Amino acid sequence: MTVPREMPEKWPRVRVRGGPEEERRVRANAREYNERFQYASNCIKTSKYNIVTFLPVNLFEQFQEVANTYFLFLLILQLIPQISSLSWFTTIVPLVLVLTITAVKDATDDYFRHKSDNQVNNRESQVLIGGVLRQEQWMNVRVGDIIKLENNQFVAQADLLLLSSSEPHGLCYIETAELDGETNMKVRQAIPVTAELGDTSKLARFDGEVVCESPNNKLDKFGGTLYWKENKYPLSNQNMLLRGCVLRNTEWCFGLVIFAGPDTKLMQNSGRTKFKRTSIDRLMNTLVLWIFGFLVCMGVILAIGNAIWEHEVGVCFQIYLPWDEGVHSAFFSGFLSFWSYIIILNTVVPISLYVSVEVIRLGHSYFINWDKKMYCAKRRTPAEARTTTLNEELGQVEYIFSDKTGTLTQNIMVFSKCSVNGHSYGDVQDVLGHKAELGERPEPVNFSFNPLADPRFQFWDPSLLEAVKLGDPHVHEFFRLLSLCHTVMSEEKSEGELLYKAQSPDEGALVTAARNFGFVFRFRTPKTITVHELGQAITYQLLAILDFNNIRKRMSVIVRCPEGKIRLYCKGADTILLERLHPINQDLTSVTADHLNEYAAEGLRTLVLAYKDLEESYYRDWSERLRWAGSASEAREDCLARLYDEVEHDMMLLGATAIEDKLQQGVPETIAILTLANIKIWVLTGDKQETAVNIGYSCKMLTDDMTEVFVVTGHTVLEVREELRKAREKMMDASRSVGNGFSYEEKLSSSKLTSVLEAIAGEYALVINGHSLAHALEADMEVEFLETACACKAVICCRVTPLQKAQVVELVKKYKKGVTLAIGDGANDVNMIKTAHIGVGISGQEGIQAVLASDYSFSQFKFLQRLLLVHGRWSYLRMCKFLCYFFYKNFAFTMVHFWFGFFCGFSAQTVYDQYFITLYNIVYTSLPVLAMGVFDQDVPEQRSMEYPKLYEPGQLNLLFNKREFFICIAQGIYTSVLMFFIPYGVFADATRDDGAQLADYQSFAVTVATSLVIVVSVQIGLDTGFWTAINHFFIWGSLATYFAILFTMHSDGLFRMFPNQFRFVGNAQNTLAQPTVWLTIALTTVVCIMPVVAFRFLKLDLKPELSDTVRYTQLVRKKQKTQHRCVRRAGRVGSRRSGYAFSHQEGFGELIMSGKNMRLSSLALSSFASRPSTSWIETLWKKKGSEGSGASSPSGTADKTLKV
Catalytic residue status for 403: yes
Nearest CA to 1156 among 693, 704, 731?
704
d(CA 993, CA 1075): 9
Give residues with Cβ within 8 angstroms of 442, minimum separation 6. Answer: 428, 429, 430, 431, 436, 460
Q: Do residues 778 and 785 touch, judged by C-beta distance below 8 A? A: no
Q: Do residues 659 and 507 touch, judged by C-beta distance below 8 A? A: no
Residue type present at position 594? D
Alpha carbon of 1104 to those of 711, 884, 943, 951, 967: distances in Å? Answer: 42, 20, 17, 16, 19
| 125: β partners | 136
For 613, the 3-state DSSP assignment is strand
Residues in the chain: 1204
Q: Which of 145, 180, 371, 403 is catalytic?
A: 403
**Mind giving me the DSSP string for 17-81?**
TTS-B--EEEETT-HHHHHTTTPPPS--------TTTHHHHHHHHHTTSHHHHHHHHHHHHHT-T
Cβ atoms within 10 A of the Cβ of 586, count?
A: 10
Nearest CA to 710 among 812, 789, 598?
789
For 712, the 3-state DSSP assignment is strand
Alpha carbon of 806 to those of 73, 229, 714, 835, 1081: distances in Å? Answer: 43, 48, 21, 6, 59
Give residues with Cβ within 8 angstroms of 1150, minimum separation 6. Answer: 1144, 1194, 1195
Q: Do residues 678 and 951 touch, judged by C-beta distance below 8 A? A: yes
**Mind giving me the DSSP string for 946-963?**
H-GGGGHHHHTT-SSSHH
HEC assignment per residue over 1124-1144: HHHHHHHHCCCCCCCCCCCCC
**Mind giving me the DSSP string for 525-539?**
-SSEEEEEETTEEEE
Q: Do residues 765 and 701 touch, judged by C-beta distance below 8 A? A: yes
Q: Do residues 122 and 139 touch, judged by C-beta distance below 8 A? A: yes
Nearest CA to 903 among 1020, 977, 984?
984
Largest CA distance in the chain: 124
d(CA 1154, CA 697): 11
Residue type present at position 412? I
What is the β-pairing status of strands 384-385 and 209-212? Answer: unpaired
For 1054, the 3-state DSSP assignment is helix
State the DSSP code for 403.
Answer: -
Give residues with Cβ within 8 angstroms of 194, minimum separation 6. Answer: 163, 164, 170, 206, 208, 226
Q: Do residues 169 and 187 touch, judged by C-beta distance below 8 A? A: no
Taking the CA atoms of 193, 194, 199 and 201 in sequence, report the sign of the dihedral they define: positive
Query: What values do phi and psi take at 160, rounded to 5?
Result: -115, 145
> b/e for 1154-1182, b at 16 or more Cβ within 10 A?
ebebbeebbebbeebeeeebeebbeebee
According to DSSP H, which parts of 650-711 are helical? Answer: 667-676, 689-698
Q: Do residues 797 and 546 touch, judged by C-beta distance below 8 A? A: no
| 255: β partners | 147, 162
Catalytic residues: 403
